[in-house]
Amino acid sequence: MSGILNSSIGRKFAMALSALFLMFFLLQHFAINILSVFSPTAFNEASHFMGTFWAVQFILQPILIIGIVFHFTMGIILELKNRKARKVSYAKNNGAANSTWMSRNMIWSGLIIEAFLVVHMFNLWWHEMMVKYIDPQVLDPNRYYHELVEHFQSPVIVAIYVVAFVFLALHLLHGFNSAFQSIGANNKYTKALKGVSKVYSIGLPVGFIFIALFHHFAH
């Protein structure tokens, strides 16, 4: 058991578990964001709960940050290790004949998503941490909706958002199934996962993009 994370399969497994956790988080994030389209009150209530409930703030939030950092770091470590496994490249390599562009370029889609996350965290999350814990201020529990609408008024931010979520879709189109394969869940009973994978991988990013465009054009 001790050497599991030093093995190729152990690292795959850890990468997959962090991916599954992040995919679950994305779903939860979307479920709250989509409320902003239908009901500002419901969105404010859900956001206030997430922003003030101790278990979310002091248990789930650190786990999420660890999950993101772990997935990102392990992805880079694995990429560097994998590059060392082939010292001389092929003069001609027809990768498109046997694999998808998404599967061969996870590191690039991942790096773009990570760059977006840095901007996203700085714009929204860091500001929230400042006013709540570092320089505490009296906060309006109904501020979330207005902050969201204001955030999406910038065409630059909306453009960055759209590009990032297109790359998230590309990342998920390979990553969703890949995570299940890595934890060993690929057999005749799991074929249906491929359908779920497509719905999730395309539907979720399109949903996030819709929310951004909705608030940009509706206000």
Task: Work out which of 38, 58, 87, 133 binds other proteins, going by CB under 8 A.
Answer: 87
Task: Work out which of 55, 93, 135, 195 binds other proteins, going by CB under 8 A.
Answer: 93
Angle in degrees, CA 18, 21, 24, rounded to 5 = 150
Q: At what angle do helices 143-151 and 40-52 cross, to 10 degrees?
A: 110
Task: Work out which of 38, 58, 90, 133 binds other proteins, going by CB under 8 A.
Answer: 90
Q: Is 90 left (phi over 0), alpha (psi -120 to 50) or beta?
A: beta
95 versus 141: smaller Cβ distance to other proteins: 95
84 versus 195: smaller Cβ distance to other proteins: 84
- Contact between 134 and other proteins by CB under 8 A: the answer reads no
Quote the least distance from Cβ 90 to other proteins, whole Å. 6
Token pair belonging to 69: 């950092």
- Contact between 196 and other proteins by CB under 8 A: the answer reads no
Task: Work out which of 41, 100, 153, 154 binds other proteins, going by CB under 8 A.
Answer: 100
Angle in degrees, CA 79, 168, 110, rounded to 5 = 20
Number of residues that make up the chain: 219
Task: Work out which of 18, 36, 44, 177 binds other proteins, going by CB under 8 A.
Answer: 177
The DSSP line for 167-211 is HHHHHHHHHHHHHHHHTT--STT-TTHHHHHHHHHHHHHHHHHHH
Q: Which residues bind other proteins (CB under 8 A)?
A: 1, 3-4, 7-13, 78, 81-82, 84-95, 97-100, 103-104, 106, 174, 177-178, 181-187
